[in-house]
Amino acid sequence: MSTDDALDTLRRMVEIPSVTGQEAALARYLAGRMTELGYAARIDGAGNAVGEIGACHGPVIMLVGHLDTVPGSPPVRQVGDRLYGRGTVDAKGPLAAMVHAGSRAAAEAGARVVVVGAVEEEGSSRGARHLLRSAPPDALVIGEPSSAGAVAIGYKGLLRVECLVRRPPSHATSPEEKAVEVTVDLVRAVRERLAGNHPAQGPLFERAVPVLVRLEGDLASARAELDCRVPEGFDAPEFLEWLRGLSDGTTVKVLEHVPAVRTGRTDPVVRALSAAIRREGRVPGAKVKLGTSDMNVLAPAWQVPMAAYGPGDSRLDHTETEHIVLGEYLFAVDVLAAALPEISAALAVRPERGRTDRHAADRRAGLADTRGGEAAAR
């Protein structure tokens, strides 16, 4: 497939709206597109678009991007070498790059390349959680914007909680506690506690940072939602026990919790991507990210070599000016295509290679178990 084909895939993906929970049209398009590119493609039981290509034996390298976007519909347009539109960066650009890189490099890699367009990453990571029903791959690349010249090696964790405070109805002039005031004090206490645990001058990746994303209520009932980005080793059970004990009449509900994850520069996937960036003419970098991704869901369960990579400037995520530089997108396709054979070769010499061979059939069966649902038209 040509450069024009890769650019056309990206533009078509961006033109198809796919707000979280409404990814079906994009999943159908992507499954069909992967079929055209030589993949055995399908839509699995969660609604993920899944394509497999390459050797039936040997390691399985899984590339997971996400189909969904946050709401918003900035006009899709090209201005020079920049394509504007919702999802260009987060994360249709990285996913489209994976699709074309897998098609180009699978035969040379000597591996089974599995590309997944996952649903609801911006929500509950339902698509990634569905993948956990299958056996793990031998290596994993998460498609997120790291910039085409850098590899993301870590993501902060997330603890999202809802605090509901109730107090007996009273007059505004009464000295009795008021629910909304108690809730404000609770939010302030959370900020002070987390700031005390992690000094403000430390790196952001190593600090717990709470954000109040919703506050509503009155004298009798009030509700606050807190989005806490947490570092490695954060003791969530201990924090929740403390939070629940702050005041009587307060209910704390965990809406979402994923731990922070981090790999190292010596990880085979990190090394292969970095080497490919260098071969393509740039000095590779490594990043840790302050947000979360499907890596937070998959890494603790699978514990295989992994990293996140993809074109785009993550500072543009969710903005009205979201856009991707098309030259960066094509560079990322080249990097991924160059990295896949190297990842495969690194897996072949790892001590765990015996496990890979013994469980190849189990892994393929596990992938097949996730297939239910709609098959792509061929």
- Written as six digits, the tokens of 289 are 């990210």
At position 183, the amino acid (one-letter code) is T
- As a whole number of angstroms, the longest Cα–Cα distance in the chain is 76
CA 17/CA 253 separation, integer angstroms? 32
- Written as six digits, the tokens of 86 are 């919702």
Half-sphere exposure of 274 (CA within 13 A, CB side): 17
Is 4 a residue of the active site?
no
Is 121 a residue of the active site?
yes
Catalytic residue selected from 121, 294, 322, 342: 121
DSSP state of 144: -
Catalytic residue selected from 44, 68, 138, 267: 68
Bridge-based pairing state of the strands 82-84 and 306-309? unpaired
At position 235, the amino acid (one-letter code) is D
E strand or H helix that includes residue 103? helix 93-109
CA 12/CA 49 separation, integer angstroms? 15
Distances (CA, A) of 219 to 2, 165, 168, 213, 243: 64, 10, 8, 20, 21
At position 172, the amino acid (one-letter code) is A
E strand or H helix that includes residue 55? none
Q: Identify the three-state secondary structure at position 238.
A: helix
DSSP result, 176-209: S--HHHHHHHHHHHHHHHHHHHS-TTS-GGGS-E
Cα dihedral 318, 324, 330, 332 in deg (nearest 10): -40
110 burial type by CB count under 10 A (0-12 exposed, 13-18 middle, 19+ buried): middle
Which residue do the tokens 């390691």 mark?
A: 59
- Written as six digits, the tokens of 146 are 């790291």
191 burial type by CB count under 10 A (0-12 exposed, 13-18 middle, 19+ buried): middle
- Written as six digits, the tokens of 244 are 């629940």
Half-sphere exposure of 372 (CA within 13 A, CB side): 8
Active site residues: 68, 121
